[in-house]
Structure 1
Amino acid sequence: MSVRPWLSCYPKEIPTHLSYDEQPLHSYLTHAAELYGEKTAIHFMGKDLSFQEVYESALKVGRYLRKLGIEKGDRVAIMLPNSPQAVISYFGTLYAGGIVVQTNPLYTEREIEYQMKDSGAKAIITLDILYPRVRSVMKNTDLQHIIVTAVKDYLPFPKNIIYPFIQQKQTGLKVHVEEHGTNHDFLTIMKTEAPEAVDVTVHSEEDLALLQYTGGTTGFPKGVMLTHKNLIANTSMCAAWMYKCKKGEEIILGVLPFFHVYGMTAVMVLSIMQGYKMVLLPKFDVKMTLKAIQKQRPTLFPGAPTIYIALLNEPSLQKYDLSSIQCCISGSAPLPAEIQQRFEKVTGGRLVEGYGLSETSPVTHSNFLWGEERVKGSVGVPWPDTDAVILSLETGKALPPGEVGEIAIKGPQVMKGYWNRPEETERTFKDGWLLTGDVGYMDENGYFFVVDRKKDVILAGGYNIYPREVEEVLYEHEAVQEAAVIGVPDPYRGETVKAFIVRKEGHIVTEEELDQYMRENLAVYKVPKIYEFRDELPKTAVGKILRRVLVDEEKKNIEKTS
């Protein structure tokens, strides 16, 4: 591409081109230990770990994995919530020359078995309470070793004594794992291994650091192959974008799960690369998050819209001081403008929407955090060294500004391909461009707008209706906390629009009132014809509302009644 209109919008502080270190991703932890050794790298539920402690612990894991027979290129699954062990295990796997397989701790036995089989993982690092699930599927996979840890292992006294009783009460599980044969204890590794480096040669551009499985909202999850350079490039772009943030000084709130690519890059890897302190929460809980912000004073808070929405709708919000927050980039789902404005008013910081996908490590676009005036409804402009184009849905040719088509991406953060799926990899690329499956357009200044997922477009009476546009209007209603819009079969129009609504606590709104409101704000053909009120909507672990689940539920309901 010779024309990149977005570059003229860049503030002078953001370079249009970056240079990327030809080194493995884990070398950044080595450097961080040298530069910030005694500085706090992780704060977890009252316990602090320095960069030196994290580094030495990761070296121990790396050495132990080698002793278990893990060689360069072998896959090691990490099935942990946000915790010191998750960070240590991630970098320990890389030090051993292994490839990390991020695994959601909420997975069922069926989902664990599928991912272990597909990735061919030889070892898994997981929690004691998750051990029974892993053990039950082990015989059907290539897993040879299970390294077990517990949340209490990295809690301060007396929380480490009390927590197992709380955990047992909440889960009904009391699990004791004997250390023998294929079972290994994480704390024992920390006590017995020497913190010595393993000699492994890594080529950052070619060698994989991560298999990041897609959410599976459009079929079976696929392993996205991300190299060391992919992740270094995207994290370097992120650091350049946040140019006011100071190396070694910022505090970042880690509530986005690390098994999701956005949390992994924008919190964990960024913190190690830049010497930031991570305040880790093992799960998203509104009160726990608000208390952590007030007490730990994070300056950076990457999140997802549902996280910000939940905080803003907490009745006791006014009791908490959130003024430490300076900037947040929201990802994984569309950010309603009304939520953005309310959050900025409460915190005094900046909240902007970004865009990306697992296949791009994940970020490709973002609005500017400072300086430039924001363009309403836009996901922003491409990051440094990132090209984007709109391709016609009919011809595949590049389209001029203002015309709607499929967003395609090129850049150093773009994946190598899908694990063991050469045909799907080939279908996903066109002339070197990654086809995102997202429908959008670019304005004359280079700002991009995501209209919707290609598969989610509703075809009603000859019109293309984009769920995101309808949801944006619903979110502006004072009684709506969450909204999801899908197309359902209609004998006359082909499809018609159905909206699922979660009301805000203490608010009442009827279908008739919403219908009148929507007709005042949208063309009549876009207005939902059916409304369904729910207490909650199905979501991914990172809080992205799963339209596909709602579509499947509708299909099943139709089958039952037909």
Structure 2
Amino acid sequence: MSAFVPSVAREDPPTTSCSLDNGITLSASMATTEFHGPSGPLPHVPDDVTLVQFMLDSDHPSRPVKRILQGNPWMIEDATGRQIGYGEVRMRTHGLANAISSRWRIAEDDVVCIFGPNHVDYPIAVWAVHRLGATVTCANPAYTAGELQYQLETTKAKVLIVHGQSYSVAIAAAKAIGLSLDRIVLFDPLENSASSSYKHLTVHELIKEGLERPQSYVERKLKRGEGRTKLAFLSFSSGTTGKPKAVCISHYAPIANVLQMAHLANQQPGPWEIVKYRTGGVAMGVLPFYHIYGLVVIMHFMMFYGASLVVVPRFNLLDFLGSIQRHKIGLLPVVPPMIVLLCKHPAVKNYDLSSVHAIMSGAAPLSPELTNQLAKVLPQACVGQGYGMTETCTTISFPQIEQKICTPGSAGRLVPGVVARVVKPDGSLAGFNEPGHLIVKGPANALRYLNNEEATKETFVDGWVHTGDEVTINETMEVFVVDRIKELIKVKGFQVAPAELEGHVLDHPDVSDVCVVGLPDDYSGELPLAFVTPSVAAAERMKKDPAEAAKIRTSITKHVADAKVNYKHLEGGVEFVEAIPKNPSGKLLRRVLRDRAAELRKQGKLSKPPRSRM
């Protein structure tokens, strides 16, 4: 199995080699400047089908053949235990597509927004929109009305499918952009019908209506190559600065990523206890489907590969543990904060978690220490992590298939089809174990940012995605994330652009300047902390009355909390400084303030000391 293809031609180049636990030898030319995901070549990726056609209508050599024949459910509703099989998934998808088409004439290249937590009809809604040739944009159910309004305006969404818990926010955003209330569809009836004077249709009612009517749409067969450019999703990512950006993802991209993961899963060696991805098994579906990890890895790959997906609306530890026990869940896709709770919460020992055979972490780095702790808590389980981003349509690296406890600290091994370069600060390309900026090329890369040429030129360069992460890659193609180059804060795996928060904080009347940095946190990864230079008037008030400082901190914190989704709140606190350090060109010197935050924490002088979450 070739680890990579040398990009620099050279006669009889010196080589290095090593053997994996399964006996396969990886060999590599020392002259290379590119790293190629092993286990290739990648099987054919169809570029003439939509994602729904790939999932529901077609077969592929990489798909386990027992998938449909066994009759195991595609989804299980966590609360009720209701099982939904292939036939019902396909039928409901058609019914919803037919009703949306006949009622609102949703068709080619229109956009439909899905706004709510996980639901068994979430994939139905996604695939119904794709049946019509339209595009899906998934919104974070924790958004404020202003944030949802921004996404609806940016994507020009024509229909909004909403969960009842997000209803009031959806109504406010819809009214703000002039979206007719009859274009708001509910996943389920509102629990309190008095909360709305308008009678909205539900997904179930639309499905019933669509199944009773003659077909009103003609599903188009894509031309060869069209799947590479036809949009499937407009998924939002923070990029590097400012407001979130809509990432243009083609149908080809998630199909390719699913096949990259499936091709790797098909090469899993024995023994059975280290086989992570099992056709006919049961997987946890609690990570949010709107997020690229939940959307591609969980909602598409897991079901493609034959797992029954237990759909859980949102994470709560005790409910999560109860779901594992009740449904005998074997595969847990999680994020590091969930692993912290599994390792440290006293309630864990009260549940039977013996069914768990594999845990896959993603969205944020998992430390070696936490990996080893988890291995002790669940000794029967494989533990590993993957790495990816919205701009690469998820997976760049995946847990090592031949290891039970994957190399601690590793973000997994490059998946087949991915080519990586590690660029040093001087622009030269790094070799093995040398740090630098990770840029990647692969079949799943997104196309661009929507209507943002400047940001597109920064991230998407000649087919390569600039990840903004500093990494090293070793001789076995394992990726180790060293640091973040982009000025992003990662809170529980979610991206937070400091510039977005800074722009909002500057609107506060007591603020003359601000710089937001990430404060390291064991549970959340990082927490946004704002260094603020108070206005002249605010400084005078604090000078006259020291108690005024606490009031201003509270006011600034509330100013952000009232307008931003919860993971963007200033949980790291607000610290006052006389001036924000900047270089001669005016660029904020964030590292200076990160170091200052670390020193304040060390001395116990933070205005908002970190608190335990146990």
TM-score by length of 1: 0.76
| Bigger shift: residues 377-386 or 199-208 | 199-208
The yes-or-no answer on 1:35 pairing with 2:57 is no
The yes-or-no answer on 1:148 pairing with 2:148 is no
Paired residues of 2:302 and 2:309 also in contact (CA < 8 A): yes
Paired residues of 1:355 and 1:365 also in contact (CA < 8 A): yes
Match of 2:497 in 1: none
Cα gap change, 1:62 to 1:247, in 2 (>3 Å): farther
5+ residue gaps, structure 2: 8-14, 25-37, 60-65, 267-274, 490-516, 532-579, 583-588
C-alpha distance in structure 2 between counterparts of 1:287 and 1:6, whole Å: 48
| Bigger shift: residues 202-211 or 141-150 | 141-150
Give the Å deviation of 1:41. 1.6
After superposition, give the CA deviation of every residue in 1:423-469 in whole Å (9 maximum; x if it has no partner): 221221334321111112223443322112113599xxxxxxxx99x
Opposite residue 66 of structure 1, the aligned amino acid is S
C-alpha distance in structure 2 between counterparts of 1:142 and 1:400, whole Å: 54
Cα gap change, 1:536 to 1:500, in 2 (>3 Å): farther
C-alpha distance in structure 1 between counterparts of 2:16 and 2:285, whole Å: 30
How do 1:246-285 and structure 2 match up within 5 A?
248-285=279-316
Pick one of 303, 306, 310 that aligns with 2:341.
Answer: 310
Paired residues of 1:75 and 1:98 also in contact (CA < 8 A): yes
C-alpha distance in structure 1 between counterparts of 2:300 and 2:16, whole Å: 27
Give the Å deviation of 1:190. 2.3
Match of 1:219 in 2: 242
Give the Å deviation of 1:411. 0.2
Pick one of 419, 431, 440 that aligns with 2:471.
Answer: 440
The yes-or-no answer on 1:108 pairing with 2:144 is yes
Match of 2:435 in 1: 404
After superposition, give the CA deviation of every residue in 1:392-441 in whole Å (9 maximum; x if it has no partner): 23x43322233322100000011011111122212213343211111122
Cα gap change, 1:114 to 1:237, in 2 (>3 Å): same
Opposite residue 449 of structure 1, the aligned amino acid is F
C-alpha distance in structure 2 between counterparts of 1:99 and 1:345, whole Å: 44
Opposite residue 46 of structure 2, the aligned amino acid is D
Match of 1:71 in 2: 107
| Bigger shift: residues 315-324 or 483-492 | 483-492
| Bigger shift: residues 118-127 or 138-147 | 138-147
C-alpha distance in structure 2 between counterparts of 1:7 and 1:307, whole Å: 37
Match of 2:52 in 1: 26
Match of 1:205 in 2: 228
C-alpha distance in structure 1 between counterparts of 2:443 and 2:219, whole Å: 27
Give the Å deviation of 1:213. 0.4
Opposite residue 201 of structure 1, the aligned amino acid is K
Match of 2:6 in 1: 3
How do 1:20-169 and structure 2 match up within 5 A?
20-22=45-47, 23-27=49-53, 28-31=55-58, 35=68, 38-44=71-77, 45-46=79-80, 47-67=82-102, 68-141=104-177, 143-144=179-180, 146-151=183-188, 164=191
Match of 1:185 in 2: 202
Cα gap change, 1:207 to 1:451, in 2 (>3 Å): same
C-alpha distance in structure 2 between counterparts of 1:6 and 1:426, whole Å: 36
Paired residues of 2:67 and 2:280 also in contact (CA < 8 A): no
C-alpha distance in structure 2 between counterparts of 1:365 and 1:430, whole Å: 20
| Bigger shift: residues 5-14 or 261-270 | 5-14
C-alpha distance in structure 1 between counterparts of 2:16 and 2:596, whole Å: 36
The yes-or-no answer on 1:391 pairing with 2:423 is yes
Match of 2:595 in 1: 497
Cα gap change, 1:132 to 1:532, in 2 (>3 Å): closer
Paired residues of 2:96 and 2:206 also in contact (CA < 8 A): yes
After superposition, give the CA deviation of every residue in 1:41-93 in whole Å (9 maximum; x if it has no partner): 21111222222112111111111222211111111101121111212111111
Secondary structure of 1:111's partner? helix
C-alpha distance in structure 2 between counterparts of 1:251 and 1:434, whole Å: 34
After superposition, give the CA deviation of every residue in 1:266-294 in whole Å (9 maximum; x if it has no partner): 11111332232110110100000000001
Opposite residue 221 of structure 2, the aligned amino acid is T
Q: Once superposed, what is the RMSD of the aligned Cα atoms?
A: 3.6
Give the Å deviation of 1:24. 1.7
Match of 1:345 in 2: 376
After superposition, give the CA deviation of every residue in 1:351-397 in whole Å (9 maximum; x if it has no partner): 1121111101111013304348843322132100001111123x433
Paired residues of 2:164 and 2:189 also in contact (CA < 8 A): no
C-alpha distance in structure 2 between counterparts of 1:34 and 1:511, whole Å: 53
Cα gap change, 1:221 to 1:494, in 2 (>3 Å): closer
After superposition, give the CA deviation of every residue in 1:12-38 in whole Å (9 maximum; x if it has no partner): 594442321332210212359992595
Secondary structure of 1:279's partner? strand
Match of 1:478 in 2: none
Aligned positions, number: 478
The yes-or-no answer on 1:381 pairing with 2:396 is no
C-alpha distance in structure 1 between counterparts of 2:249 and 2:417, whole Å: 17
5+ residue gaps, structure 1: 154-163, 459-466, 476-480, 502-509, 516-527, 538-562
Secondary structure of 1:112's partner? helix
Give the Å deviation of 1:317. 0.9
Instruction: Give me the identity figure in percent.
Output: 25
Pick one of 382, 387, 393 that aligns with 1:361.
Answer: 393
Question: Who wins on radius of gyration, i.e. which is larger?
Answer: 2
C-alpha distance in structure 2 between counterparts of 1:496 and 1:174, whole Å: 49
Cα gap change, 1:483 to 1:85, in 2 (>3 Å): closer
Secondary structure of 2:299's partner? helix
Paired residues of 2:277 and 2:331 also in contact (CA < 8 A): no
C-alpha distance in structure 2 between counterparts of 1:176 and 1:36, whole Å: 45
C-alpha distance in structure 2 between counterparts of 1:90 and 1:485, whole Å: 32
Cα gap change, 1:186 to 1:218, in 2 (>3 Å): same
Give the Å deviation of 1:98. 1.1
The yes-or-no answer on 1:235 pairing with 2:261 is no
Secondary structure of 1:340's partner? helix
Cα gap change, 1:529 to 1:178, in 2 (>3 Å): closer
